[in-house]
Amino acid sequence: MSKLSELAEQNPWRRNPWFETVLEAQRRAKKRLPKSVYSSLIAGTQAGITLNDNVEAYREIGFAPHVVGTTPERKLETRVMGQDISFPVMISPTGVQAVDPDGEVAVSRAAAARGTAMGLSSFASKPVEEVTAVNDKIFFQAYWLGDREEILRRAERAREAGAKGLIVTTDWVFNIGRDWGSPDIPEQVDLKALAKLAPEIAVRPRYALDWIRDGKVEIPDLTAPNLVDKGEQGPTFFGAYGQWMNTPPPTWEDLKWLREHWGGEFMVKGITRLDDAKRAVDIGATAISVSNHGGNNLDGTPATIRVLGPIADAVGNDLDVLLDGGIRRGSDVVKALALGAKAVMIGRAYLWGLAANGQAGVENVLDLLRMGVDSSLMGLGKDDIHDLSRDDLLIPEGFERSFGG
């Protein structure tokens, strides 16, 4: 074994012990990652109004608990987009996951180990074939990028790899970043970029050591291999963004066309309006995600938990309604379910787990959320997540937002 490999194996931070909260995972991620890498995990747009409201809005909702008659066991299983999952939390698609050498493959293994599904970003750093090889419940996420045939070709590649559904993201706008400044992410990790990042990496040695394998230093891959045909060299992350920015946004007719050609489970991600939710039903979507891209959208958009209830009331019988944005605890999940969500998708929470301790860190986050869901059900006297309703919540007047008619 080389000296580099020996140092990497002896890295005391590689197998951190269990952390007790998602916020502890965030603290450890901040401690381990170079500043610019960590900044990319917490960034929002402009003043961060939506980013903050996504999290803080949950604090405004209370519970109406039962203290007698609690059941000894509770049922957490559900079915989303044709897939059975062990509890109502899924992995939301996020772009290049260079916080850990195994990236999306580690996340996929963690989701499989906990019996849940994963959304895989088309901007992922790992090929879809590697991700589906370790988890048979993968939904491939697509941006409207390039012409129709290019988009369909990427979807068909994902289908051939075993993807069980398609997620089309509509809730993202290109923006210059937050008032405190956007994270400095290089277009590609070359010698120039490494030299610039060297001072950051020098004070975060645990991050550098994790990239040493078999005596060699691996370089984080900031390309997007799922935007091209299998085996081809993908564009850089920012090259892909450039292509996206030069593609006209999709129309509802475009989405209907893609849904018809895909022919299977189909989610429209980014719904916050009632009329958009109804249009998703009209085009034959099988699911929607009430989402504002985790606060990386038009700043000032309401927290997703504020708009969830009216949307679920309007279309919840017609398709699967999911929510993403601001989930930090199992009790947050339960509040979303009580307002009509079939399940939630998490983003930053599992990325912090991945940064804190790789695959085990993602499993840790999923375990925390599962335990939180179970304990919240226990406190509410419920034995099944499907029995949750608004009657279990204390919702302040004026909390919910409804717009779009």
Q: Cite the active site residues.
A: 293
Other Cβ atoms within 10 Å of 21 Cβ, number: 13
Q: Is 53 helix (H, G, I), strand (E, B) or coil?
A: helix
Distance from C-alpha of 344 to C-alpha of 320, rounded to nearest angstrom: 11
Distances 208 to 52, 125, 220, 327 between C-alpha atoms, Å: 31, 18, 10, 29
Q: Which tokens sit at 253?
A: 């007719």
Amino acid letter, residue 208: A
Amino acid letter, residue 16: N
Asked whether the beta carbons of 312 and 344 are under 8 A apart, the reply is no
Distances 364 to 21, 55, 57, 136, 376 between C-alpha atoms, Å: 9, 20, 25, 21, 18
Name the nearest CA neighbour of 107 among 212, 333, 120, 226: 120
Name the nearest CA neighbour of 186 among 98, 247, 94: 98
Distance from C-alpha of 384 to C-alpha of 73, rounded to nearest angstrom: 9
Residue whose tokens read 């939180």: 372
Classify each residue of 264-297 as buried b or exposed e, where b means 16 or more C-beta atoms within 10 Å of its C-beta. Answer: ebbbbbbbbbbebbbbbbebebbbbbbbbbbbbb
Asked whether the beta carbons of 67 and 318 are under 8 A apart, the reply is no
Residue 193, classified by CB atoms within 10 Å of its CB into exposed (0-12), middle (13-18) or buried (19+), is: middle
Distances 45 to 106, 136, 240, 260, 310 between C-alpha atoms, Å: 28, 34, 19, 34, 26
Distance from C-alpha of 235 to C-alpha of 238, rounded to nearest angstrom: 8
**Angle at the Cα of 278 (from 162 to 294), degrees rounded to 5?**
60
Asked whether the beta carbons of 91 and 346 are under 8 A apart, the reply is yes
Q: How many Å separate Cα 110 from the centre of its chain?
A: 14
